[in-house]
Every structure is written in C-alpha cells, then in structure tokens.
Amino acid sequence: MSASRPLRADARRNRDALLAAARTAFLDGDADIHVEDIARSAGVAVGTLYRHFETREALIEEVYRKEVDDLCSAPADLLNQYAPDEALRRFLLLLVDHAAVGKGMSFVLESIMATESPVFGDARDRMVEALSQLLAAGNAAGTLRGDISGSTLLRALGGICAMHATGGWIDEARQIAGLLFDGLRHTTAQVA
C-alpha cells in the first residue's frame, strides 16, 4: 500500500476497525490473541488485516502510535479551552491515563521492544514537545515555572510508568502528577 495515496473510505473504515479491535484485545490483556481473531472481531477477513499491517508487530506499533497521536494532539485543544496552567494539569492526567493504556498493553508492547522500532523514541520526543508547549504557554502567562523543560518533566513522570499496576496504583499516579503540577506553579518564593 502506498503511503502517499490516501485510503478509500471503506479501506479507512476497515483499518480503523482493525485498530479498535486490536486495542480492545490488547487492553483486555489478551497478549496471545491471533490476528485471525482480531480480524474477525473487526468484521473483516484476515487478508484485509495483512493489507494494512504486514505483521502482528506492525499492528501493535500502529495501535500504540495512535494512542500517542491522540495524547499529543491534546495540548492545542486544552490551551484553546483552559488557562495554560489548567491545560498542563489536565494533560498530566491524560499522561497518567496513557500510562494505564501502556500497562494494559505491556505484554504486547514487549514484542516490539526487542526490535529496532522507532515507535518508543518517537513517542518520547512527541511527549516532550507537548509538555514543552504547555510549559512555555504557562511561563508566558506567568503561572508556571520557566526553568523546567519538557524533557525534565517527562523524566519525572517516568516514575508513574514504572509503578506496578497494583490495586489503586492509578489513584497514586494521579496524586504524583498533582505533586508535580504543584511544584511547577509559578511562585515568587525561592527554595533555599
């Protein structure tokens, strides 16, 4: 399939149905689901799946890439709706939700971690860019510190991704995001 030609409407629907079916299966923890089952769940033939995704790993990458696309498109919308500091707070909570998706997909994501897939590096770069955009807007508005980079904030959020998915972990992750947000708010007092 040519990357430069747009998909026909029916092909786009099939591709979207395959991504939705795969996402649901992966989030449900069905790491061993076969492509035939994903195709059946999407209401298409397995040949249709392979026309869109050459391998199971390519499908996994695309599911994860779509999750990152959805996440990283949020800052512009958030900044249009909220003050920059509130937009950042909401984005941090979206990052927690993204970590939950990643935990749900952890078993299938392991199958592409050993490959030379650029999907994780690309995701990290896009998240840094999104955080940097929000931090810059908050700094310009005088409500967020200007000495913290998007990269530094993403590293701080890395602890959320490393948390074990035990009962209540997501509530703790949201509390951690809240602590980070509180530390990012602009203050005139300097910590000694």
Neighbours of 46 (CB within 10 A): 14
* C-alpha torsion angle, residues 136, 70, 80, 95 (rounded to 10): -50
Q: What are the tens digits of pLDDT across the range 164-185?
A: 666 777 788 889 889 999 999 9
Q: What is the pLDDT of residues 85-135, one digit of tens each?
A: 999 999 999 988 887 776 666 656 666 666 667 888 888 899 999 999 999
Coil/strand/helix, residue 4? coil
CATH of the domain at 40: 1.10.10.60
Kindly state whether residues 79 and 45 are assigned to the same domain: no
Shared-domain flag, residues 110 and 178: yes
Tokens describing residue 47: 């040949």
**Residues 138 and 144 sit within 8 Å (Cβ to Cβ):** yes
Residue 120 lies in a domain: yes
Do 124 and 169 reside in the same domain of the chain?
yes
Q: Is the pTM of this model over 0.85?
A: no
**Is 192 domain-assigned?**
no
Query: How many domains does the structure of the chain reveal?
Result: 2
Please give the pLDDT value at position 1: 47
Task: Specify the CATH number for the domain of residue 143.
Answer: 1.10.357.10
CA 86 – CA 17 distance, rounded (Å)? 34
Q: Are 82 and 141 spatial neighbours (Cβ–Cβ below 8 Å)?
A: no
Residue 168 gets the label, from left (phi > 0), alpha (psi -120 to 50) or beta, of: left
Give me the chain's average pLDDT, please.
84
Query: Do 87 and 152 fall into the same domain?
Result: yes
Note the Cα 106 to chain centre separation in Å: 13
Please identify, among 16, 37, 54, the residue that sits at the C-terminal boundary of a domain: 54
**32 and 98 co-located in one domain:** no
Task: Measure CA of the first residue to CA of the last residue in the chain; give whole Å.
Answer: 59
DSSP state letters, 55-93: SHHHHHHHHHHHHHHHHHTHHHHHHHHS-HHHHHHHHHH
3-state DSSP assignment of residue 99: helix
Residue 124: domain span: 56-184
pLDDT of 2 higher than 50:
no
